[in-house]
Amino acid sequence: MQQVSVGLVGLGTVGAGVARILTQHADRIARRAGRRIDCKWAVVRDLKKPREGDFEGLRIVDDPRRVIDDPEVAIVVELIGGVDAARRIVLDALAAGKHVVTANKALLAEHGPEIFAAARKADRAVAFEASSAGGVPIVGAINVGLAANQIQSLAAILNGTCNYILTQMTQGGIAYADALAGAQALGYAEADPTLDVDGTDTAHKLAILAQLAFGANVTTADIPREGIDRLELADLTYARELGYTIKLLAHARLADGALELRVAPTLVRRDAPLAQVHGPYNAVRAVGDAVGDTLFYGRGAGMMPTASAVVADLIDVVVGRALLTSRTLDFWSTEAPAVPLLPPSRSRRRNYLRFLIADRPGVIAAIAQILGDKGISIASVIQHEPGDEGEGDEATVPLVIMTHLAVEEHLREAIAQIDRLDVVRAPSVRLGVEE
Protein backbone atom coordinates (compact mmCIF):
# COMPACT_ATOMS: atom_id res chain seq x y z
CA MET A 1 0.00 0.00 0.00
CA GLN A 2 1.23 3.52 -0.79
CA GLN A 3 2.22 5.82 2.05
CA VAL A 4 1.73 9.51 2.76
CA SER A 5 3.96 11.41 5.20
CA VAL A 6 2.59 13.88 7.68
CA GLY A 7 4.21 16.42 10.00
CA LEU A 8 2.52 17.37 13.27
CA VAL A 9 3.33 20.91 14.35
CA GLY A 10 2.40 20.72 18.04
CA LEU A 11 2.54 17.64 20.25
CA GLY A 12 0.47 18.83 23.22
CA THR A 13 -2.98 17.58 24.22
CA VAL A 14 -4.36 17.27 20.68
CA GLY A 15 -1.09 16.44 18.89
CA ALA A 16 -0.39 13.55 21.27
CA GLY A 17 -3.93 12.24 20.68
CA VAL A 18 -3.44 12.38 16.89
CA ALA A 19 -0.10 10.55 17.19
CA ARG A 20 -1.79 7.92 19.34
CA ILE A 21 -4.60 7.20 16.85
CA LEU A 22 -2.20 7.11 13.91
CA THR A 23 0.10 4.66 15.70
CA GLN A 24 -2.38 2.45 17.53
CA HIS A 25 -4.91 2.20 14.70
CA ALA A 26 -2.63 2.46 11.68
CA ASP A 27 -4.30 -0.41 9.77
CA ARG A 28 -7.83 0.89 10.30
CA ILE A 29 -6.81 4.40 9.22
CA ALA A 30 -4.97 3.03 6.18
CA ARG A 31 -8.08 1.12 5.06
CA ARG A 32 -10.18 4.28 5.29
CA ALA A 33 -7.62 6.55 3.68
CA GLY A 34 -6.53 4.10 0.98
CA ARG A 35 -2.90 4.79 1.97
CA ARG A 36 -0.82 4.36 5.10
CA ILE A 37 -0.47 7.63 7.01
CA ASP A 38 3.05 7.93 8.34
CA CYS A 39 3.50 10.46 11.10
CA LYS A 40 7.08 11.41 10.35
CA TRP A 41 7.72 14.63 12.27
CA ALA A 42 6.47 16.38 15.38
CA VAL A 43 7.43 19.97 16.12
CA VAL A 44 7.41 21.22 19.73
CA ARG A 45 8.53 24.39 21.46
CA ASP A 46 10.57 22.78 24.23
CA LEU A 47 12.60 19.70 23.32
CA LYS A 48 13.51 19.07 26.96
CA LYS A 49 9.93 18.79 28.17
CA PRO A 50 9.12 15.25 29.41
CA ARG A 51 6.47 13.66 27.14
CA GLU A 52 4.14 10.80 27.82
CA GLY A 53 3.07 8.73 24.84
CA ASP A 54 4.26 6.24 22.30
CA PHE A 55 6.29 8.49 20.01
CA GLU A 56 8.69 5.83 18.74
CA GLY A 57 9.79 6.55 15.19
CA LEU A 58 8.57 10.14 15.41
CA ARG A 59 11.28 12.71 14.78
CA ILE A 60 10.68 15.40 17.40
CA VAL A 61 12.23 18.78 16.54
CA ASP A 62 11.69 22.42 17.50
CA ASP A 63 11.88 24.01 14.05
CA PRO A 64 8.72 23.93 11.84
CA ARG A 65 10.90 24.48 8.75
CA ARG A 66 12.19 20.92 9.10
CA VAL A 67 8.65 19.75 8.28
CA ILE A 68 7.75 22.41 5.75
CA ASP A 69 11.01 21.89 3.80
CA ASP A 70 10.73 18.09 3.75
CA PRO A 71 9.64 17.13 0.20
CA GLU A 72 8.28 13.82 1.51
CA VAL A 73 5.72 15.56 3.73
CA ALA A 74 2.37 16.05 1.98
CA ILE A 75 0.30 17.30 4.93
CA VAL A 76 1.16 19.69 7.76
CA VAL A 77 -1.07 19.40 10.83
CA GLU A 78 -1.02 22.67 12.76
CA LEU A 79 -1.78 22.06 16.45
CA ILE A 80 0.17 24.74 18.28
CA GLY A 81 -2.69 27.20 18.90
CA GLY A 82 -2.35 30.99 19.06
CA VAL A 83 -2.41 33.19 16.00
CA ASP A 84 0.91 34.68 14.86
CA ALA A 85 3.25 31.67 14.75
CA ALA A 86 0.41 29.41 13.56
CA ARG A 87 -0.46 31.82 10.73
CA ARG A 88 3.16 31.86 9.53
CA ILE A 89 3.42 28.06 9.66
CA VAL A 90 0.14 27.53 7.75
CA LEU A 91 0.98 30.11 5.07
CA ASP A 92 4.52 28.72 4.66
CA ALA A 93 3.19 25.16 4.47
CA LEU A 94 0.67 26.12 1.75
CA ALA A 95 3.35 28.05 -0.17
CA ALA A 96 5.51 24.91 -0.01
CA GLY A 97 2.68 22.90 -1.60
CA LYS A 98 1.50 21.07 1.53
CA HIS A 99 -2.11 20.47 2.46
CA VAL A 100 -2.97 21.73 5.94
CA VAL A 101 -5.11 20.32 8.72
CA THR A 102 -5.74 22.64 11.66
CA ALA A 103 -7.75 22.71 14.89
CA ASN A 104 -7.01 26.41 15.32
CA LYS A 105 -10.27 28.37 15.54
CA ALA A 106 -8.52 31.59 16.59
CA LEU A 107 -6.45 31.50 13.42
CA LEU A 108 -9.42 30.89 11.11
CA ALA A 109 -11.67 33.40 12.87
CA GLU A 110 -9.04 36.13 12.54
CA HIS A 111 -7.32 35.22 9.26
CA GLY A 112 -9.76 32.98 7.37
CA PRO A 113 -9.76 35.11 4.17
CA GLU A 114 -5.94 35.21 4.00
CA ILE A 115 -5.50 31.50 4.75
CA PHE A 116 -8.07 30.38 2.18
CA ALA A 117 -6.80 32.82 -0.46
CA ALA A 118 -3.37 31.20 0.01
CA ALA A 119 -4.94 27.72 -0.19
CA ARG A 120 -6.72 28.64 -3.46
CA LYS A 121 -3.51 30.05 -4.92
CA ALA A 122 -1.58 26.89 -4.00
CA ASP A 123 -4.53 24.63 -4.92
CA ARG A 124 -4.19 22.87 -1.59
CA ALA A 125 -6.78 21.94 1.03
CA VAL A 126 -7.14 23.43 4.47
CA ALA A 127 -9.27 21.08 6.59
CA PHE A 128 -10.57 22.30 9.94
CA GLU A 129 -13.19 19.95 11.42
CA ALA A 130 -11.62 20.12 14.91
CA SER A 131 -11.78 23.91 14.99
CA SER A 132 -15.41 23.99 16.05
CA ALA A 133 -17.11 21.74 18.63
CA GLY A 134 -14.11 19.38 18.95
CA GLY A 135 -15.19 15.83 18.21
CA VAL A 136 -18.67 16.80 16.96
CA PRO A 137 -18.53 16.69 13.13
CA ILE A 138 -20.44 19.93 12.68
CA VAL A 139 -18.19 21.38 9.97
CA GLY A 140 -18.83 18.37 7.72
CA ALA A 141 -22.49 18.34 8.69
CA ILE A 142 -23.05 21.93 7.55
CA ASN A 143 -20.85 21.62 4.45
CA VAL A 144 -22.11 18.25 3.28
CA GLY A 145 -25.03 16.73 5.19
CA LEU A 146 -27.10 19.93 5.32
CA ALA A 147 -25.91 21.29 1.97
CA ALA A 148 -29.45 21.38 0.55
CA ASN A 149 -30.57 23.84 3.22
CA GLN A 150 -30.35 27.51 3.95
CA ILE A 151 -29.52 27.38 7.63
CA GLN A 152 -31.88 29.72 9.41
CA SER A 153 -30.48 29.58 12.92
CA LEU A 154 -27.81 28.03 15.09
CA ALA A 155 -27.84 27.80 18.87
CA ALA A 156 -24.78 26.08 20.22
CA ILE A 157 -22.71 25.17 23.23
CA LEU A 158 -19.22 25.38 21.76
CA ASN A 159 -16.84 25.63 24.70
CA GLY A 160 -16.19 22.48 26.70
CA THR A 161 -14.34 24.35 29.44
CA CYS A 162 -17.26 26.71 30.15
CA ASN A 163 -19.84 23.96 29.98
CA TYR A 164 -17.72 21.85 32.32
CA ILE A 165 -17.41 24.78 34.77
CA LEU A 166 -21.15 25.55 34.66
CA THR A 167 -21.99 21.87 35.20
CA GLN A 168 -19.59 21.58 38.12
CA MET A 169 -21.03 24.74 39.69
CA THR A 170 -24.69 23.83 39.24
CA GLN A 171 -24.56 20.07 39.86
CA GLY A 172 -21.54 19.67 42.11
CA GLY A 173 -21.62 22.94 44.05
CA ILE A 174 -17.96 23.39 43.05
CA ALA A 175 -16.52 26.93 43.20
CA TYR A 176 -15.76 28.63 39.87
CA ALA A 177 -11.96 28.70 40.38
CA ASP A 178 -11.81 25.00 41.32
CA ALA A 179 -13.99 24.03 38.34
CA LEU A 180 -11.71 26.01 35.99
CA ALA A 181 -8.62 24.32 37.45
CA GLY A 182 -10.32 20.95 36.82
CA ALA A 183 -10.99 21.85 33.16
CA GLN A 184 -7.35 22.84 32.73
CA ALA A 185 -6.10 19.60 34.30
CA LEU A 186 -8.33 17.59 31.94
CA GLY A 187 -6.84 19.34 28.86
CA TYR A 188 -10.05 21.18 27.87
CA ALA A 189 -8.87 24.76 28.34
CA GLU A 190 -6.87 26.92 25.97
CA ALA A 191 -3.25 27.73 26.88
CA ASP A 192 -4.71 31.06 28.06
CA PRO A 193 -8.02 30.04 29.69
CA THR A 194 -9.23 33.65 29.66
CA LEU A 195 -10.15 32.99 26.03
CA ASP A 196 -12.49 30.22 27.17
CA VAL A 197 -14.21 31.96 30.06
CA ASP A 198 -14.59 35.42 28.50
CA GLY A 199 -16.45 34.00 25.49
CA THR A 200 -13.69 34.65 22.92
CA ASP A 201 -13.15 30.96 22.07
CA THR A 202 -16.89 30.51 21.51
CA ALA A 203 -16.90 33.63 19.31
CA HIS A 204 -14.00 32.19 17.27
CA LYS A 205 -16.03 29.04 16.67
CA LEU A 206 -19.19 30.98 15.90
CA ALA A 207 -17.28 33.07 13.34
CA ILE A 208 -16.30 29.81 11.59
CA LEU A 209 -19.82 28.35 11.71
CA ALA A 210 -21.27 31.67 10.50
CA GLN A 211 -18.97 31.49 7.48
CA LEU A 212 -20.05 27.93 6.69
CA ALA A 213 -23.76 28.30 7.40
CA PHE A 214 -24.41 31.85 6.20
CA GLY A 215 -21.34 32.79 4.13
CA ALA A 216 -20.67 35.57 6.66
CA ASN A 217 -17.14 36.94 6.56
CA VAL A 218 -16.96 37.96 10.20
CA THR A 219 -14.13 38.12 12.69
CA THR A 220 -14.41 37.85 16.45
CA ALA A 221 -14.66 41.63 16.76
CA ASP A 222 -18.00 41.56 14.88
CA ILE A 223 -19.60 39.27 17.46
CA PRO A 224 -20.97 40.83 20.67
CA ARG A 225 -19.75 38.54 23.42
CA GLU A 226 -19.91 37.99 27.15
CA GLY A 227 -18.34 35.11 29.03
CA ILE A 228 -19.09 33.19 32.19
CA ASP A 229 -16.33 34.93 34.13
CA ARG A 230 -18.73 37.46 35.65
CA LEU A 231 -21.64 35.10 36.16
CA GLU A 232 -22.85 34.95 39.77
CA LEU A 233 -24.05 31.86 41.60
CA ALA A 234 -27.24 33.76 42.54
CA ASP A 235 -28.27 33.85 38.86
CA LEU A 236 -27.71 30.12 38.42
CA THR A 237 -29.96 29.63 41.46
CA TYR A 238 -32.72 32.01 40.30
CA ALA A 239 -32.61 30.51 36.81
CA ARG A 240 -33.22 27.08 38.34
CA GLU A 241 -36.16 28.45 40.35
CA LEU A 242 -37.64 29.82 37.13
CA GLY A 243 -37.26 26.44 35.37
CA TYR A 244 -34.13 27.30 33.39
CA THR A 245 -30.44 26.50 33.34
CA ILE A 246 -27.68 28.88 32.21
CA LYS A 247 -25.44 27.91 29.28
CA LEU A 248 -22.80 29.85 27.40
CA LEU A 249 -24.58 29.95 24.04
CA ALA A 250 -23.42 30.92 20.59
CA HIS A 251 -26.41 32.25 18.71
CA ALA A 252 -26.83 32.97 15.00
CA ARG A 253 -30.12 33.72 13.28
CA LEU A 254 -31.23 35.13 9.97
CA ALA A 255 -33.86 37.77 10.66
CA ASP A 256 -35.29 39.99 7.89
CA GLY A 257 -32.31 39.28 5.63
CA ALA A 258 -29.75 40.23 8.30
CA LEU A 259 -27.65 37.96 10.48
CA GLU A 260 -27.89 38.23 14.25
CA LEU A 261 -24.81 36.94 16.07
CA ARG A 262 -23.88 36.84 19.73
CA VAL A 263 -22.17 34.84 22.46
CA ALA A 264 -23.50 35.15 25.99
CA PRO A 265 -24.53 33.22 29.08
CA THR A 266 -28.16 32.50 28.31
CA LEU A 267 -31.15 31.00 30.10
CA VAL A 268 -32.27 27.76 28.46
CA ARG A 269 -35.46 25.98 29.55
CA ARG A 270 -34.52 22.97 31.68
CA ASP A 271 -36.47 20.59 29.43
CA ALA A 272 -34.79 21.81 26.21
CA PRO A 273 -32.16 19.50 24.65
CA LEU A 274 -29.38 22.11 25.05
CA ALA A 275 -30.03 22.17 28.81
CA GLN A 276 -29.19 18.43 28.96
CA VAL A 277 -25.65 19.04 27.66
CA HIS A 278 -23.26 18.63 30.57
CA GLY A 279 -19.53 18.61 31.31
CA PRO A 280 -17.17 19.03 28.33
CA TYR A 281 -19.92 18.08 25.88
CA ASN A 282 -20.90 20.49 23.10
CA ALA A 283 -24.09 20.63 21.08
CA VAL A 284 -25.24 22.51 18.03
CA ARG A 285 -28.90 23.00 17.21
CA ALA A 286 -29.14 23.90 13.54
CA VAL A 287 -32.43 24.75 11.86
CA GLY A 288 -32.50 24.40 8.08
CA ASP A 289 -35.26 25.50 5.73
CA ALA A 290 -35.75 21.97 4.36
CA VAL A 291 -34.67 19.70 7.19
CA GLY A 292 -36.10 21.71 10.10
CA ASP A 293 -34.61 21.15 13.53
CA THR A 294 -31.38 19.13 13.91
CA LEU A 295 -29.15 18.54 16.91
CA PHE A 296 -25.48 17.51 16.94
CA TYR A 297 -23.95 16.41 20.23
CA GLY A 298 -20.64 15.09 21.52
CA ARG A 299 -17.42 15.87 23.33
CA GLY A 300 -16.26 19.35 22.42
CA ALA A 301 -12.84 19.31 24.02
CA GLY A 302 -10.14 16.96 25.22
CA MET A 303 -7.39 14.86 23.70
CA MET A 304 -9.10 11.99 21.94
CA PRO A 305 -12.38 13.64 20.80
CA THR A 306 -10.39 16.44 19.17
CA ALA A 307 -7.88 13.99 17.72
CA SER A 308 -10.84 12.09 16.24
CA ALA A 309 -11.77 15.17 14.20
CA VAL A 310 -8.17 15.90 13.18
CA VAL A 311 -7.60 12.33 11.94
CA ALA A 312 -10.93 12.43 10.06
CA ASP A 313 -9.60 15.52 8.28
CA LEU A 314 -6.32 13.75 7.52
CA ILE A 315 -8.27 10.90 5.92
CA ASP A 316 -10.36 13.40 3.93
CA VAL A 317 -7.22 15.08 2.66
CA VAL A 318 -5.53 11.79 1.73
CA VAL A 319 -8.62 10.51 -0.10
CA GLY A 320 -8.87 13.83 -1.97
CA ARG A 321 -12.27 14.87 -0.63
CA ALA A 322 -10.96 17.85 1.33
CA LEU A 323 -9.48 19.52 -1.75
CA LEU A 324 -12.69 18.99 -3.74
CA THR A 325 -14.70 20.47 -0.85
CA SER A 326 -12.33 23.43 -0.52
CA ARG A 327 -12.45 24.16 -4.25
CA THR A 328 -16.22 23.83 -4.51
CA LEU A 329 -17.32 25.62 -1.37
CA ASP A 330 -14.76 28.39 -1.73
CA PHE A 331 -14.55 29.12 2.02
CA TRP A 332 -14.00 32.73 3.11
CA SER A 333 -14.28 33.87 -0.48
CA THR A 334 -14.21 37.64 -0.84
CA GLU A 335 -16.33 37.31 -4.00
CA ALA A 336 -19.36 35.86 -2.21
CA PRO A 337 -22.12 38.41 -1.45
CA ALA A 338 -21.77 39.67 2.11
CA VAL A 339 -24.62 38.97 4.54
CA PRO A 340 -25.45 42.16 6.46
CA LEU A 341 -25.15 41.88 10.23
CA LEU A 342 -28.10 42.90 12.35
CA PRO A 343 -26.97 45.80 14.59
CA PRO A 344 -27.01 44.33 18.16
CA SER A 345 -29.23 47.24 19.31
CA ARG A 346 -32.02 45.94 17.02
CA SER A 347 -32.06 42.34 18.22
CA ARG A 348 -35.17 41.13 20.06
CA ARG A 349 -35.27 38.53 22.81
CA ARG A 350 -36.69 37.71 26.18
CA ASN A 351 -34.55 38.72 29.15
CA TYR A 352 -33.81 37.85 32.75
CA LEU A 353 -33.15 40.91 34.93
CA ARG A 354 -31.92 41.00 38.52
CA PHE A 355 -31.88 44.19 40.58
CA LEU A 356 -30.76 44.74 44.15
CA ILE A 357 -33.30 47.17 45.56
CA ALA A 358 -34.20 48.89 48.80
CA ASP A 359 -37.14 47.14 50.45
CA ARG A 360 -39.38 50.23 50.33
CA PRO A 361 -42.90 50.93 49.09
CA GLY A 362 -43.21 51.79 45.42
CA VAL A 363 -39.84 50.42 44.21
CA ILE A 364 -41.27 47.61 42.09
CA ALA A 365 -43.85 50.01 40.69
CA ALA A 366 -41.10 52.47 39.69
CA ILE A 367 -39.13 49.74 37.91
CA ALA A 368 -42.24 48.38 36.19
CA GLN A 369 -43.11 51.92 35.07
CA ILE A 370 -39.72 52.42 33.38
CA LEU A 371 -39.95 49.04 31.64
CA GLY A 372 -43.54 49.79 30.58
CA ASP A 373 -42.58 53.21 29.21
CA LYS A 374 -40.04 51.46 26.95
CA GLY A 375 -42.66 48.99 25.74
CA ILE A 376 -41.17 46.09 27.72
CA SER A 377 -43.71 43.69 29.12
CA ILE A 378 -43.03 41.71 32.32
CA ALA A 379 -43.61 37.94 32.12
CA SER A 380 -42.86 37.01 35.75
CA VAL A 381 -41.35 38.39 38.96
CA ILE A 382 -39.54 36.86 41.95
CA GLN A 383 -38.95 38.72 45.18
CA HIS A 384 -38.26 36.76 48.34
CA GLU A 385 -38.69 37.97 51.94
CA PRO A 386 -35.69 40.09 52.95
CA GLY A 387 -32.85 38.27 54.71
CA ASP A 388 -30.03 39.75 56.79
CA GLU A 389 -28.42 41.64 53.95
CA GLY A 390 -29.63 45.08 55.16
CA GLU A 391 -27.50 48.19 54.79
CA GLY A 392 -27.79 50.01 58.10
CA ASP A 393 -31.45 49.93 59.02
CA GLU A 394 -32.76 49.39 55.53
CA ALA A 395 -33.10 45.91 54.05
CA THR A 396 -32.14 45.29 50.43
CA VAL A 397 -33.70 42.53 48.42
CA PRO A 398 -33.01 41.00 45.02
CA LEU A 399 -35.79 41.49 42.51
CA VAL A 400 -35.82 39.16 39.50
CA ILE A 401 -37.91 39.97 36.44
CA MET A 402 -38.44 37.90 33.30
CA THR A 403 -39.50 39.98 30.32
CA HIS A 404 -41.40 39.13 27.18
CA LEU A 405 -39.64 39.89 23.87
CA ALA A 406 -37.83 43.21 24.09
CA VAL A 407 -35.77 45.24 21.63
CA GLU A 408 -32.18 45.42 22.87
CA GLU A 409 -31.90 49.19 22.50
CA HIS A 410 -35.06 49.77 24.55
CA LEU A 411 -33.94 47.32 27.20
CA ARG A 412 -30.53 48.98 27.55
CA GLU A 413 -32.15 52.39 27.95
CA ALA A 414 -34.56 51.04 30.57
CA ILE A 415 -31.80 49.34 32.56
CA ALA A 416 -29.65 52.48 32.51
CA GLN A 417 -32.61 54.47 33.83
CA ILE A 418 -33.41 51.87 36.51
CA ASP A 419 -29.78 51.73 37.64
CA ARG A 420 -29.93 55.49 38.26
CA LEU A 421 -32.85 55.17 40.72
CA ASP A 422 -31.68 55.90 44.28
CA VAL A 423 -33.41 52.75 45.52
CA VAL A 424 -31.28 50.52 43.31
CA ARG A 425 -28.23 49.40 45.28
CA ALA A 426 -26.03 47.64 42.71
CA PRO A 427 -25.63 47.52 38.93
CA SER A 428 -28.32 45.28 37.51
CA VAL A 429 -27.70 41.87 35.96
CA ARG A 430 -29.19 41.06 32.57
CA LEU A 431 -29.13 37.73 30.73
CA GLY A 432 -30.88 36.70 27.53
CA VAL A 433 -33.32 33.82 27.26
CA GLU A 434 -33.15 31.27 24.43
CA GLU A 435 -36.52 30.57 22.84
Phi, psi of 190 (to 5 degrees): -70, 165
Q: Which is nearer to ligand NAP, 200 or 306 (CB)?
A: 306
The partner in contact with residue 137, picked from ligand HSE, ligand NAP, none with C-beta cut-offs of 5 to 8 angstroms by kind, is none
Closest CA to 397 of 234, 212, 187: 234
Shortest Cβ 143–ligand NAP spacing (Å):
18
Residues that bind ligand NAP (CB under 6 A): 10-15, 43-46, 49, 79-81, 85, 103-104, 130, 134, 187-188, 190-191, 301-302, 306
- Environment class of residue 286 by beta-carbon count within 10 Å: exposed (0-12), middle (13-18) or buried (19+)? buried
Cite the beta strand spans of 321-423 per DSSP E.
Answer: 348-358, 378-382, 396-403, 406-407
Q: Which is nearer to ligand NAP, 279 or 302 (CB)?
A: 302
Shortest Cβ 317–ligand HSE spacing (Å):
20
Nearest residue relative to ligand NAP (C-beta): 12
Cite the beta strand spans of 233-347 per DSSP E.
Answer: 244-255, 258-269, 281-288, 292-299
Contact stretch for ligand HSE (CB under 6 A) within 157-165, 235-243, 335-343, 404-412: 157-165
Q: How many chain residues are in contact with ligand HSE, going by CB under 6 A?
A: 11
Phi, psi of 119 (to 5 degrees): -65, -40
Among 86, 197, 267, 301, binds ligand HSE (CB under 6 A): 301
CB-CB contact of 157 with 300 (8 Å): yes
Shortest Cβ 163–ligand NAP spacing (Å):
12
Closest CA to 279 of 304, 307, 247: 247
Shortest Cβ 128–ligand HSE spacing (Å):
12
State the helix-helix crossing angle for 160-172 and 233-241, rounded to 10 degrees: 70
259: which residues sit within 8 A by CB, 6+ positions away?
210, 214, 216, 252, 253, 339, 340, 341, 342
- Environment class of residue 335 by beta-carbon count within 10 Å: exposed (0-12), middle (13-18) or buried (19+)? exposed
The partner in contact with residue 159, picked from ligand NAP, ligand HSE, none with C-beta cut-offs of 5 to 8 angstroms by kind, is ligand HSE
Closest CA to 216 of 274, 258, 278, 271: 258
Shortest Cβ 205–ligand HSE spacing (Å):
7
The partner in contact with residue 371, picked from ligand NAP, ligand HSE, none with C-beta cut-offs of 5 to 8 angstroms by kind, is none
The partner in contact with residue 182, picked from ligand NAP, ligand HSE, none with C-beta cut-offs of 5 to 8 angstroms by kind, is none
For 366-391, b/e burial (b = at least 16 CB within 10 A) is ebeebbeebebeeeeeeeeeeeeeee
Nearest residue relative to ligand HSE (C-beta): 161
Q: Which is nearer to ligand NAP, 129 or 408 (CB)?
A: 129
Shortest Cβ 276–ligand NAP spacing (Å):
21
Binding flags for ligand HSE, 180-199, as an x/- string (CB under 6 A): --------xxx-----x---
Q: Which is nearer to ligand HSE, 196 or 260 (CB)?
A: 196
Closest CA to 36 of 46, 45, 27, 25: 27
The partner in contact with residue 226, picked from ligand NAP, ligand HSE, none with C-beta cut-offs of 5 to 8 angstroms by kind, is none
Closest CA to 39 of 239, 318, 364: 318
Shortest Cβ 282–ligand HSE spacing (Å):
7
CA distance linking residue 383 with residue 106, whole number of Å: 42
Q: Is 205 known to be catalytic?
A: yes
CA distance linking residue 41 with residue 10, whole number of Å: 10
- In the range 195-234, which residues lie near ligand HSE by CB under 6 A? 196, 201
The partner in contact with residue 74, picked from ligand HSE, ligand NAP, none with C-beta cut-offs of 5 to 8 angstroms by kind, is none
Q: Of the listed 40, 98, 105, 205, which one is catalytic?
A: 205
Q: Diameter of the chain by CA atoms?
A: 83
Q: Which is nearer to ligand NAP, 46 or 393 (CB)?
A: 46
CB-CB contact of 110 with 290 (8 Å): no
Q: Point out the residues that are catalytic.
A: 205
Give the interface with ligand HSE as residue ranges (CB under 6 A): 134, 159-161, 188-190, 196, 201, 300-301
